[in-house]
Chains A and B, each alone.
Chain A
Amino acid sequence: MSKANLLIVDDELSVRDSLGKWFREEGYDAWGAESAHAALAQMAEHHFDLALVDIKMPGTDGIELLHRIREVDPEMMVIIMTGYASVETAVAALKDGAYDYVSKPFDPDDIAHTVHNALSHRRADQENLRLREAVAKASKPHDLVGQSAAMRQVFEAIETVAPTEATVLITGESGTGKELVARAIHAASPRRYNPLVVIHCGALAETLLESELFGHEKGAFTGAQYRKKGSFEIAEGGTTFLDEIGDVSLKTQTDLLRVLQEHEITRVGGSHPMHVDFRCIAATNKNVESLIEEGKFRPDLYYRLNVFQIHIPPLRERRNDIPLLAAHFVRQFAASMNKHIEGVSAAAMNLLMHYDWPGNIRELENAIERAMVVAQGPQLGEQDFVFRVNRAERAHRTLEDAERAHILSVLEECDGNQTMAAEILNIDRVTLHNKLKKYGWKKTEKTANVL
């Protein structure tokens, strides 16, 4: 088997012949091209791992050919051959993406090493890329499940904002999957090969949070025995996800605002600001506008964070996603628990569909996990689920409750368009309007606000 395919581009036949023969003895497949034009024609026909390109050729020269090769096959290694070694040509070649340059005639050991090293470098790059792809694939947030209109809007928003550098604010109740959305944005962004650092702001005391976010110098405070990098530094080239941003103190908000504006941090106890390259995604389950009115949140920080907002609706407003989510969690836990459970019985599903899920998807996931532990049969039954709302309460669900839930569900699917909803419900628009008024529904209560 050939070690690699080489293309030797030189207008001198003796160079092409002698080098080609020499490389074939080395176990390579070597091809020759007398000009840049011929080289590009060869490249259209065959795949090459490496090209040895003479810098001085009639017509298109070696540097120009190097540019063309970079456009056609950026992974191909290029070694420039020069008649007279000069710093200028070497710098120009290396600047333009050549792996190395060699002066004619070559020392046999040197050229053998240069080509071998270039190919090893290429293999390492390819291996690195394959591993990165595998890691990205393995860490893809597969838990983002949903086919409701509201979730489709969320998916579209992720797709739109992910490739950009825009700061994103994710809002939604606890357990709706804000972190999963942040991970999905990171995974689909050009920063995906760099770290995603998650900080749960609500879980840390103010001083600890500052140290977590900005790092600290040795001796900055009692117990700071070592210099520590903060999450913005660790996320260099990647994304920082600030969860529960609504719980951050005003003092830390001021520091955060500076970081977002300047992309500079100063470690706690440090005096020199340093530049950091990160993208910020924040999330909250609180109404930040109310916090601003109460003077608990800086409006300027809110405007910085709220460049692009994604609202994740609570599970009770997208009940038609429940069967899909339940099936997903059953599959997931069946694999991890090594249990042969196929799904959820119709009666149990009815139960799941009528529960309000105040803890949202996290609560559904926990309920399924618990049911999977206790289940005996091939399906999860009613008896396997325990909710905070008991059966007696469920018995109070009236026909009017059902009608209300159905109307609101249809309206949600129609994005609040009452004319369309009335058509689907087969009632006139005035009747629908009156019913909605009775339920206290307001047009602003859109189930998914994706700005």
Chain B
Amino acid sequence: MKRIQLLPFGEFDSVLLANLSADLARAFSIPSEILEAGPDPSRAYNPEREQYSSTQILGMMSGHAATESCRLLGVTSLDLYIPILTFVFGEAQMGGACAVVSTHRLTQEFYGLPPDPDLLRARLLKEAVHEMGHTFSLPHCEYYECVMAPSHAVERIDLKTHHFCPECRSRMLAAVSR
């Protein structure tokens, strides 16, 4: 993998986006760049659920994926879902090139708490690294501090770090070097 590309969907905080780009570059030790805003996500909107289908957004991203040596990460503040679950923080193509993450349920405001920009930045990085990990074919990890630990609730995101455990790291590095 040669670089990471970030593709924003809908309105997104530019500072948060810049920080994420820098954080990802450090986390994976490769360049990261921010692309122009992605296509209109309204096609992925489900009025019944008042949520956006993460799977459809991933579909929209396929055309934007440059080469196999890139990872394309969609970023959005929209509330994402897959049909069978009430929500998702993000979704990735397992072993593919694209992933998407949402800040909708990562903000403290969503849980009725005062804003915490640093916490949001940390949570977004963990979720971004996590979804990127899936694009390297990494499944969930049982080690609770590993970034690949399942994070079905925001408390569990706070519990883990943005680092890979040694086993997941070696698998990730092998995939990055390809």
Q: Which residues of chain A have a CB within 8 Å of any CB of chain B?
A: 12, 14-15, 18-19, 21-22, 24-27, 104-109, 111-112
Interface contact B82-A22, CB-CB below 8 Å: yes
Ordered by A's residue number, 24 sampled pairs between the chains whose C-beta atoms are within 8 Å are: A14-B83, A14-B84, A15-B84, A18-B55, A18-B82, A18-B83, A18-B85, A21-B82, A22-B85, A24-B94, A24-B139, A25-B92, A25-B134, A25-B139, A25-B140, A27-B142, A105-B81, A105-B85, A106-B86, A107-B86, A109-B152, A109-B156, A112-B150, A112-B152
Cβ of A13 to closest chain B Cβ, rounded Å? 10
Interface size class of B (residues with CB under 8 A): 10 to 19
| Chain B interface helix/strand/loop/mixed | loop
Residues of B within 8 A of A (CB): 55, 81-88, 92, 94, 134, 139-140, 142, 150, 152-153, 156
Chain B residues, CB < 8 A from A18: 55, 82-85
A108–B152 touching, CB < 8 Å? yes
Which among A12, A24, A27, A106 is the interface contact of B85 at CB below 8 angstroms? A106
In the complex, chain B residues whose CB is within 8 Å of the CB of A108: 85-88, 152-153
Residues of A within 8 Å of B84, CB to CB, are 14-15, 18-19, 22, 104-106
Query: What's the least CB distance linking B134 to chain A, in Å?
Result: 6
Say whether chain A's binding surface is mostly helix, strand, loop, or mixed.
helix
A residues near B85, Cβ cutoff 8 Å: 18, 22, 105-108, 111
- The smallest beta-carbon distance between B87 and chain A, in angstroms, is 7
Distance in angstroms from A46 CB to nearest chain B CB is 19
Among residues of B, the one whose C-beta sits closest to the C-beta of A21 is B94
Select from chain A the residue with minimum beta-carbon distance to B82: A18
Closest to B83 in A: A14
Q: Which residue of the partner chain, among A21, A24, A105, contacts B86 with CB atoms under 8 Å?
A: A105
Q: Report Cα–Cα, A19/B156, bound state, in Å.
A: 21
Q: Is the CB of B139 within 8 A of A26?
A: yes
Q: Which residues of A contact B86 (CB under 8 A)?
A: 105-108
**Additional pairs, 8, CB under 8 Å, beyond known A15-B83, A24-B139, A106-B86:** A14-B84, A19-B84, A21-B94, A22-B85, A25-B92, A25-B139, A108-B87, A109-B153
Quote the shortest CB–CB distance from B119 to chain A (angstroms).
Answer: 19
Q: Which residues of A contact B81 (CB under 8 A)?
A: 105
A25 to B150, CA, bound (A): 9
Roughly how many angstroms separate A12 CA and B84 CA in the complex, as a whole number?
10
Residues of A within 8 A of B134 (CB): 25
Residue of A nearest to B131 (CB): A25
Give complex CA distance A439, B88 in Å: 94
Please give me the 3 A-B residue pairs with the lowest Cβ-Cβ distance, nearest first: A108-B152, A109-B152, A18-B82
Residues in A with CB closer than 8 Å to B94 are 21, 24-25
**Using Cβ atoms and an 8 Å threshold, which residues of chain B touch A22?**
82, 84-85
The answer for the CA separation of A117 and B30 in the assembled complex, in Å, is: 40
**Cross-chain contact B150 with A26 (CB below 8 angstroms):** yes
CA distance A106 to B87 in the complex (A): 8
A residues within 8 A CB of B88? 108
Q: How far is the CB of A231 from chain B (nearest CB, A)?
A: 47
Give A146 to B81 CA distance when docked, in angstroms. 71
Name the residue on B nearest A111 (C-beta): B85
Please measure, in the bound complex, the distance between the C-alpha atom of A112 and the C-alpha atom of B149, giving whole angstroms: 12
Bound CA span A361–B142, Å? 58
CB-CB < 8 A to A24: which residues of B?
94, 139
How many angstroms between the C-alpha atoms of A158 and B82 in the bound complex? Answer: 61
Contacts A18-B85, A105-B83, A106-B84 hold; do A27 and B140 have CB atoms under 8 A apart? yes
- Chain B residues with CB under 8 A of A106: 84-86
Please name all residues of chain A whose beta carbon is closer than 8 Å to the beta carbon of B153 when the two chains form the complex.
108-109
Query: How close is B140's CB to chain A, nearest CB, in angstroms?
Result: 5
CB distance from A265 to the nearest CB of B (A): 50
Closest to A108 in B: B152
Chain B residues within 8 Å of A15, by CB: 83-84
Cα distance A112–B85 in the bound complex, in angstroms: 11
A434–B82 alpha-carbon span in the complex (Å): 96
